[in-house]
Amino acid sequence: MGLYDDENNEGICDCLDLIGEQAKSELRSIFSDDTGVCHQQHTQGPCEYGQWFVLKNTPQCEPAPEGCPTDGRHIYWNPDPLMDKKCWEIWSQGPCEEGQLIHLAQDKEELQDLKKY
């Protein structure tokens, strides 16, 4: 965890931000109120077996998609919202054109806005 200034210039503790290449290839950690520590997204984290820890407005546990590892290096996504989502490894070609790789654009508002590299 790190100490950050909030909008009132008061200190708050939060999970450390990822920077550089690490931010493109790893999912940010998110804070769990249940455990009081940060856990990497899309890992089991504080969740029960067969679930992964995700951020959807609030941090929560949800069933991990069948066949998708809970290792923090896979996402469940499809660039076409009209098609079924699939499990993809970050920093692989996935559904991207040849020569492009899946990477992440992460900030505090849009933690899983996926982009092509």
Closest CA to 96 of 77, 73, 70, 82: 77
Question: pLDDT of 12-40, one tens digit each?
Answer: 555 766 566 655 556 778 888 888 888 88
Task: Specify the pTM.
Answer: 0.68
Confidence check: pLDDT of 8 > 60: yes
Residue with tokens 């856990």: 39
- Percent of the chain past pLDDT 90, that is, above it, reads 26
Question: pLDDT of 62-77, one tens digit each?
Answer: 999 999 999 988 989 8
Q: What is the DSSP secondary-structure string of the chain?
A: -EEEE-TTS-EEEEPPPP-HHHHHHSPPEEE-TTTSSEEETTB-TTSPTTEEEEEESEEEEEEPPTT---BSSEEEE-SSTTS--EEEETTS-TTSPTT--EEEE--SS-TTEEEE-
